[in-house]
Structure 1
Amino acid sequence: MSSTTRTTCQSECLCDCNRPGAACQDPRFVGGGDGITFYFHGKKGQDFCIVSDSNLRINARFIGKRNQNMKRDFTWVQSLGILFDTHNLFIGAKNTSIWEDSNDRLSLGFNGEPIHLLDGEGTKWESMTSPSVTITRLLDTNSVEVEVEGNFKIKATVVPITEKDSRVHNYGITQEDCFSHLDLSFKFYALSGQVNGVLGQTYASNYVSKVKMGVVMPVLGGEKEFSSSSLFGTDCAVARFSGQFTEGNSLENLEYGNLNCSSGMNGRGVVCKR
């Protein structure tokens, strides 16, 4: 695996992994409603519901490696399946062995058709059938902003697991696959108070964090609760999606201030509070 490479998320990837609504690394989530950081490991090769609301469903496919000395998989988010209205969006990281920053490893699709987005910062795609859907490159390659007007905005960047990452955390990554995956940040414009999902639940009006504070790596369980049958499935136990906005109890245009974070990110976890 090439040693060129992984840029830091905060500066080059343009998705702030320490802000509410982030999902990065192994996957490390920052809760939108309370700003508390937690880990949700899931399982490799399975799909999990990240956000489920009346007119927004975001599922994530996890890839990973098993460490024989641990009882869980190392996992990362490889792709997103997004449902809204009667539409679906796909954002994914292509498999790759040798990583080069100049090679675009993003895969995009809308309503089952591939999106061909030219390289170059600022290049934009807009749906001909749904003008409110736009995708804009934030860097020349591998980083985009996806926005559905009045519903959500997602910044997604494809990043690899570097040799250093693998060595420090004992991931066991080989030259055959650098486990390219997505670092993500989310902004929501019209969530209801009943929203659910791994990240979505933290925006709900009655949410109380289940994360055990004061530990090195605060972990959230619920693999069965959030498991989905497919990337575009709507059948998890906390399903809310109907394809129409629910009137009332809206948490429109959620905005949060900076986070006060302690501890470090190098595999040990971060605890953040607004």
Structure 2
Amino acid sequence: MARLSICLLVIFLAIVAEAATQKPKKAKKCRDKKNYPVCFKTKNLYCPPQCPRNCYVDCATCTPVCSKPSKSPPFLPPPPPSLSPPPTTSTPPLSPPPTTSTPPPTISTPPPPATTTPPAQNPPPPPDSSESAPKRARCKNRNYATCYGQEYTCPSACPNQCEVDCTICKAVCNCDRPGAVCQDPRFIGGDGITFYFHGKKDRDFCIVSDSNLHINAHFIGRRNEKLTRDFTWVQSLGILFGTHKLFIGAQKTATWDDSVDRLSLALDGEPIYLPDGEGMKWKAEISPSVTITRSSDANAVVIEAEDNFKIKAAVVPITQKDSRIHNYGIASENCFAHLDLSFKFYKLSGDVNGVLGQTYGSNYVSRVKMGVLMPVLGGEKEFASSNIFATDCAVARFSGQHPSSNSSENFEFANLHCASGIDGRGVVCKR
């Protein structure tokens, strides 16, 4: 009997070990053939790390999600908010009586914590903002009359930064679309495949290099003694096109405040002073023309060079919550403010290269290993640049001129949609 029990225990442990090493399962495919025909045919979508064994495909965005998505996007009716104020107005009268008896102790207690907390409260601002109620975003495209002006709550995956996809009237994360470079650099290539490129802290790497567009990214970060690599983030970009040099960066800061602008901008060595306020615009009368528009009151802009590229950039901090989850070990003297980026390209040749640029090449075949939780792309030596505006990486293609014949199709990624109205992992649109 004892031998039988031991055999059963060994078999059970073997089954558990095998299950632990299994790769994430494929997501349950989209079943809405009528409204989302393209997503209905899409295959090989894998479950995210949060739910590697069981997930569904959200037909609207054609991406795997942990919970079963609703059939239609939720619309937030305006009436409820107007009904909530009455109860709040009725409660204050009840609270004054007790508060009148408590003022003496409350007045005596604030002074001690106020003097002791300032040094310890330098770190809290970032986590406070990230752990508070999610922010809201609204549709800003007047071409979608039924959705224009509607406000939606940011998804749980990006509670502090999102935008409304007016075509499906739903809030989406800026970093979940092709052409995005965010976080501990997580890239989504032109082929829709997600991968990580860690590089090294305090180094520059070319992320896009073509005949008339070269983009270098400066990485900042810190070393974790338990790992063999650095934790890294993109702190700034050096962009070359034609005879011009454009710089965009995140200024170093210890204590984060959403209302304080931490953007640094310069064109051809001259600082750019952009007025405060969402919608404020700056334009350079050069060829091609360059426009910079604030997409929020501070820390977020849209940069566009006519007939060449469009970049959405936002300065974001590493919060204490991020540091706790990922074991970054961020100290209070530096919240590692960095850029979350989204790229859209108008004229790329088939020979384009770079960490991100290569995924738009006409003959590109992905080297990313599919099915793993964190696919990492190497190539530090071939993508390394000597400085932020250098064009000396091994895969450099920059000459300052567009090719006489564009050998690749024009691409529009990162915040675009295919004719089918979908985007996301594994989706590529060409025209």
TM-score by shorter chain over 0.5: yes
Post-superposition shift, 1:273?
A: 1.8
Post-superposition shift, 1:99?
A: 0.3
For the Cα contact (< 8 Å) 1:15–1:183, is it kept in 2?
no
Corresponding residue SS for 2:162: helix
122-131 or 105-114, larger mean C-alpha shift: 122-131
Match of 1:201 in 2: 358
String of CA shifts for 1:138-163, please: whole Å, max 9, x gaps: 00000000000100000000000000
Match of 2:240 in 1: 83
Match of 2:128 in 1: 4
Question: How many Å separate the matches in 2 of 1:83 and 1:22?
Answer: 19
Q: Structure 2 matches for 1:233-248, cutoff 5 A?
A: 233-248=390-405
Question: How many Å separate the matches in 2 of 1:91 and 1:72?
Answer: 26
String of CA shifts for 1:192-245, please: whole Å, max 9, x gaps: 000000000000000000001111100000000100000000000000000000
RMSD over aligned CA atoms reads 1.7
For the Cα contact (< 8 Å) 1:143–1:156, is it kept in 2?
yes
For the Cα contact (< 8 Å) 1:82–1:90, is it kept in 2?
yes
Q: Structure 2 matches for 1:170-185, cutoff 5 A?
A: 170-185=327-342
Question: How many Å separate the matches in 2 of 1:131 and 1:235?
Answer: 24
Q: Percent identity?
A: 67
For the Cα contact (< 8 Å) 2:208–2:353, is it kept in 1?
yes
Corresponding residue SS for 1:48: strand
- Unpaired runs of 5+ residues, structure 1, are 261-271
Post-superposition shift, 1:114?
A: 0.4
Q: Structure 2 matches for 1:45-194, cutoff 5 A?
A: 45-130=202-287, 132-194=289-351
TM-score by length of 2: 0.59
For the Cα contact (< 8 Å) 2:213–2:400, is it kept in 1?
yes
- Unpaired runs of 5+ residues, structure 2, are 1-122, 131-158, 165-170
Corresponding residue SS for 2:225: coil
- Tell me whether 1:16 sits opposite 2:169 in the alignment: no
Question: How many Å separate the matches in 2 of 1:5 and 1:39?
Answer: 26
String of CA shifts for 1:108-148, please: whole Å, max 9, x gaps: 00000100001100000001334610000000000000000
Question: How many Å separate the matches in 2 of 1:106 and 1:15?
Answer: 21
Bigger fraction of residues in helix: 2
For the Cα contact (< 8 Å) 2:362–2:408, is it kept in 1?
no
Post-superposition shift, 1:14?
A: 8.8
TM-score by length of 1: 0.92
Question: How many Å separate the matches in 2 of 1:190 and 1:41?
Answer: 27
Post-superposition shift, 1:10?
A: 2.4
Post-superposition shift, 1:252?
A: 1.9
For the Cα contact (< 8 Å) 2:201–2:221, is it kept in 1?
yes
Residue of 180, 200, 211 corresponding to 1:43: 200
Q: Compared with structure 1, are the counterparts of its residues 131 and 228 closer, same or farther at alpha carbon in structure 2 (3 Å cutoff)?
A: closer
Match of 1:252 in 2: 410
For the Cα contact (< 8 Å) 2:250–2:338, is it kept in 1?
yes
Greater relative CO, 1 or 2 (CA 8 Å, sep 6+): 1
Question: How many Å separate the matches in 1 of 2:252 and 2:273?
Answer: 18
For the Cα contact (< 8 Å) 1:4–1:100, is it kept in 2?
no
Alignment: residue pair count = 262
Bigger fraction of residues in strand: 1
131-140 or 249-258, larger mean C-alpha shift: 249-258
For the Cα contact (< 8 Å) 1:43–1:73, is it kept in 2?
yes
- Tell me whether 1:230 sits opposite 2:387 in the alignment: yes
Question: How many Å separate the matches in 1 of 2:208 and 2:172?
Answer: 22
Corresponding residue SS for 1:99: coil
Corresponding residue SS for 2:128: coil
Question: How many Å separate the matches in 2 of 1:14 and 1:57?
Answer: 29
Match of 2:107 in 1: none
For the Cα contact (< 8 Å) 1:5–1:99, is it kept in 2?
no
Question: How many Å separate the matches in 1 of 2:277 and 2:356?
Answer: 31
Corresponding residue SS for 1:5: helix
String of CA shifts for 1:164-200, please: whole Å, max 9, x gaps: 0001110010110000000000000000000000000
For the Cα contact (< 8 Å) 1:146–1:155, is it kept in 2?
yes
